[in-house]
Amino acid sequence: MPIRFEPSCRQFRLRAGGTDYIMAVAPGGYLAHVYFGEAVPDEDLTALLRLDENPFTPETNDRDRAVYLDTLPLEYPCYGIGDFREPAFKIRAADGTSACDLRYVSHRITEGKPEIPGLPATFPAKDSPCDTLEILLADQKTGLEVTLCYTAFRELDAIARSVRVKNNGSEKCTLTRVYSAAFDLDRSDLHMITLNGSWARERMVERCRLHHGKQSVDSMRGCSSHQYSPFAALCEPCADEERGEVFGSCFVYSGNFTILAEVTQHDAVRFVMGINDADFSWELSSGEEFCAPEAVLVRSSNGIGGMSRTFHDLFRKNLIRSQYVDRPRPVLINNWEATYFDFDEEKLLSIAREASSLGIEMLVMDDGWFGHRDDDNSSLGDWTVYEKKLPSGLGSLSEKLRAMGMELGIWFEPEMISPDSELYRLHPDWAVQISGRPMTLCRGQYVLDLTRREIADHVWEMMRRVLDSAEISYVKWDMNRQITEAASQGLPAGRQGEFWHRYILAVYELMERLVSRYPELLLETCAGGGGRFDAGMLYYSPQIWCSDDTDAIERLRIQYGTSLCFPCSAIGAHVSDCPNHTVGRSTPFSTRGHAALAGTFGYELDVTRISAEDRVQIPGQISDYRKYGGLVRSGDLYRIGDPFTDGQWDGWIFAAKDGSQALFAYFQILGRPNRRSRRVKLRGLDPKAYYFEESSPERRFSGAYLMNCGINIGGLWGDFQSRLYHFIKCKG
């Protein structure tokens, strides 16, 4: 069993791939963090806890309890009992006090992994098994029981953590912070990598040296956000794409979060991750339970690239439930950047006709098909067909598309309500609001209070009616504003702090209804582009619209950052028109195709209006997608360029896990004068095997040659040029 308990030293050992995660029950019954690193032989490691070192205090050199707790590396630190570092757990007991003292009670080890009720989470898979350790801690005074769950994946250097709290006392208790993961590393010479940005430039990679005090990223926007991704990595200063130890963490959650690293007085690092507690409280009556979402920890000895490949494998095998995870997705054309709100059936059909003749398989009708929506100021909540645009309805549109060999996809924004809508006129109280305060209008809309059952049921009923009315193969679930004046009329005053988390639980429940009732449906989630690109969403949707910025060059950076944690097969990426609508840049059509290939691949333009020169490239691009899509979905990603620091070029490789082939895409971002060809070393090949590049099969290279000597890339003229190379292993 990869999880073991050694009674003599009261030590737990989780082995996940080549990583050990070790904890021990320390004197006093505190659960201590012993080791997180490369797998080591089985022995007593509790010396790492430095229990024999007495920290100096002015009054006494005894290790009194406060000093002991303030230096002991802990697994789940509580507020108020002598550990003055960042706590993971905080309460308001019936007597109004906040301290809590959790001590070890018992544990159990099981094969597989239990589900977390109502929340997305990783699961055991046939080709990626796992085992779970549950450690029960309890606070004597309040009767609170906290179960820390650790799942170790046998073949992957990954550990999933979550927390369950039960009130076993007789009095009500309010939880004011329940983080999902915490650990203390006995070193501080680390860098922290985070993914930060804004609308249309999400997940830019930032790396900073840790310093004394606290560094954090978070969201209080009601979604994981464009601004900060619920991901962070700690790494050795020397770590790069291939070398160095890296500790990655990702929160499987789509709402408010906090990730924080604190360098302490003794040069150790405390790391915590969980639901943001800024406006959080959760009341637990006697006998009630609360489940905190899952946090995933990944360790790599092979640099940042190694960490990413483990996240990708884990998410593809153990998180994305959709059957599309490893299936080719239909090549779609989305009408958003082609028409925005200005479309009708005839315009859509003319785009579809042309698209279908080029090999495109699905038309996605984006925003504007319902109510009387001609711009973004009306109709959200009125999910009935806008007859002016679609006089013969959705059924007829889907039939006409089918007749030309195309499927229909459709856009929804189920969480929202426009003030100019039938729904709002009937139920103004259904919008999230604080009575007596002005309501903030964002993009002309309010948020529906989905925490109220009747509202969530109504939204579901509306969606279900639409989806049953026609053959619809795909849904894009959008979310275009953040939450303000957070409150619910369904909650009493003392429980308003539960709103934020209850809101996300309600979104998950709606998504659960959708994917259970329509298992064949391809769901793509979206939030004004990349505002909710997180592992929670991936549990429901195999792909997420990555950014509203569709410019190929901007996408190199956005997709690079996104791929640090998330698999490229989940990155919604389309070829769009030029000059690009977001940045005004013009790039070659082929470069746009190559950038979209490292994602789900599709189109977002009016095919009837682009140049003939661009249009003729579409069938070839689609056949590239068919040929290489499997490698993107199941291969190993190697980022060999760096669009952040160099800015001159970028490149990525998808290598088959068995070393049989690799696709290499090279992007010359800016042309340079008087420059020779660029030497680029490949990655992910079998060093002992021989390969040929498909376009010149007569020349053979060993994998070792390609990876150590590299290939010369020349002959690219101008800015924003790109080229694909396909290396295939020689037979025999």
Residue pointed to by tokens 């592992």: 535
Catalytic residue status for 83: no
Residues 6+ apart with CB under 8 A from 658: none
Closest C-alpha to 234, from 207, 211, 256, 253: 207
* Nearest alpha carbon to residue 314 among 123, 472, 71: 123
* Tokens encoding 76: 């789940």
Kindly state the helix (H) or strand (E) to which residue 704 belongs, with its residue range.
helix 703-708
Between 341 and 644, CB nearer to ligand DGJ: 341
Distance in angstroms (rounded) separating the CA atoms of residues 274 and 267? 23
Closer to ligand DGJ by CB, 268 or 442: give it.
442
Q: Is the Cβ–Cβ distance between 548 and 529 less than 8 Å?
A: yes
Do you know the residue count of the chain?
A: 732
Instruction: Please say which residue, 305 or 529, places its beta carbon nearer to ligand DGJ.
Output: 529
Rank residues 311 and 533 by Cβ distance to ligand DGJ and give the closer one. Answer: 533
Q: Is 596 helix (H, G, I), strand (E, B) or coil?
A: helix
Secondary structure of 515-553 in HEC code, one letter for each residue:
HHHCCCCEEEECECCECCCCHHHHCCCCEEECCCCCCHH
Q: Are 594 and 667 in contact (CB under 8 A)?
A: yes
Give the residue closest to ligand DGJ by C-beta. Answer: 367
Rounded Cα gap, residues 544 and 522, in angstroms? 11
Neighbours of 697 (CB within 10 A): 10
In the complex, least distance from residue 371 CB atom to ligand DGJ, rounded to whole angstroms: 13
Residues linked to residue 145 through DSSP beta bridges, in sequence order: 138, 166
Closest among 108, 111, 96, 87 to 142, alpha carbons compared: 96
CB of 411 to ligand DGJ, least distance (A): 6
Beta carbon nearer to ligand DGJ, 529 or 542: 529
Report residue 602: phi and psi, to 5°: -175, -170
Which residues contribute to the site for ligand DGJ (CB under 6 A)? 336, 366-367, 411, 478, 480, 526, 528-529, 545, 548
Q: Name which of 449 and 548 has its Cβ closer to ligand DGJ.
A: 548
Give the active site residue among 548, 606, 636, 686: 548
Question: For residue 268, which of 229, 210, 199 has the smallest C-alpha distance?
Answer: 210
Q: Which of 478, 549, 636, 650 is catalytic?
A: 478
Closest approach of ligand DGJ to the CB of residue 128, in Å: 32
Name the one residue in this structure whose structure tokens are 């926007």. Answer: 221
- What gap in Å lies between CA 705 and CA 693, rounded to an integer? 13
Distance CA 246, CA 240 (A): 9
Shortest gap between Cβ of 334 and ligand DGJ (angstroms)? Answer: 7
Of the candidates 376, 370, 371, which has an alpha carbon nearest to the alpha carbon of residue 445?
376
Using CA atoms, how far apart are residues 404 and 397, in angstroms rounded to an integer?
11
Nearest to ligand DGJ of 463, 505 (CB atom): 463
Is the CB of 277 or the CB of 367 nearer to ligand DGJ?
367
Q: Is 606 a catalytic residue?
A: no
Q: What is the DSSP string of 124-136?
A: -BTTB-EEEEEEE
Instruction: Give the residue with the Cβ less far from ligand DGJ, 365 or 385.
Output: 365
Q: How far is the CB of 254 from ligand DGJ (least distance, A)?
A: 16
Q: Is the Cβ of residue 477 or residue 664 nearer to ligand DGJ in the bound state?
A: 477
Q: How far is the CB of 119 from ligand DGJ (least distance, A)?
A: 25
- Classify residue 288 by its DSSP letter: -
Strand order in the sheet with 30-38: 3-6, 11-16, 19-26, 30-38
Count CB-CB contacts under 10 A for residue 204.
17
DSSP 418-464: -SBSHHHHH-GGGB---TTSPPPPBTTBEEB-TTSHHHHHHHHHHHH
Q: Which two tokens stand for residue 656?
A: 């088959």
Query: By C-alpha distance, which of 609, 582, 629, 634 is closest to 333?
Result: 609
Compute the least distance from the CB of residue 533 to ligand DGJ, in Å. Answer: 11
Question: What residues are labeled active site?
Answer: 478, 548
